[in-house]
Amino acid sequence: MIEKKISEYPPNVQDEIRRHYICNGPIQPGNHRFSQKLIGGRLRRFNPSWFDIYRTWLEYSIEKDVAFCSCCYLFANVRENQSRDFVSKKFSI
């Protein structure tokens, strides 16, 4: 699971971390029972069939119960004055 931003690693190892991450592919737990949450008066949960549709970039953390974009994590250039919502925040369903 992603804990640190790429920019928090020493500059001389950032590309190595990206390559390792890309070679292993996104974390997509298919046999996990995703938790349900009440949203808009209905119980909803993450749909694992989204991994088939977005197989190259959609990632899911069981530990944090969130989905996120692995490409945004790997390649976003985050500056203090730019919006970082998709990079620094994960999406919970």
Examine the pLDDT at 87 and tell me if it is beyond 60: no
Model pLDDT for residues 47-86, shown as the tens digit of each residue: 999 999 999 999 998 988 889 899 888 887 655 434 444 4
Model pLDDT for residues 14-49, shown as the tens digit of each residue: 999 999 999 999 999 988 999 999 999 999 999 999
Residue 55 lies in a domain: yes
Residue 22 lies in a domain: yes
In which residue are the tokens 């070679």 written? 23
Q: What is the domain extent for residue 17?
A: 6-88
How much is the pLDDT for 30?
80
Residue 53 lies in a domain: yes
Beta strands in the chain (DSSP E): 36-39, 42-45, 58-61, 66-69
Alpha-carbon distance of 68 to 64, in angstroms, equals: 11
Residue 93 lies in a domain: no
Residue 59 lies in a domain: yes
State if pTM tops 0.85: no
How much is the pLDDT for 32?
92
Answer yes or no: are the C-beta atoms of 86 and 77 closer than 8 Å: no
Question: Mean pLDDT over residues 5-11, rounded?
Answer: 88
- How does 35-70 read in b/e, with b if 16+ C-beta sit within 10 Å? eeeeeeeeeeebeeeebeeeeeebbbeeeeebbbbb
Residue 76 lies in a domain: yes
Question: Total domain count for the chain?
Answer: 1
Residue 14 lies in a domain: yes
Count of other CB atoms within 10 angstroms of residue 6: 20
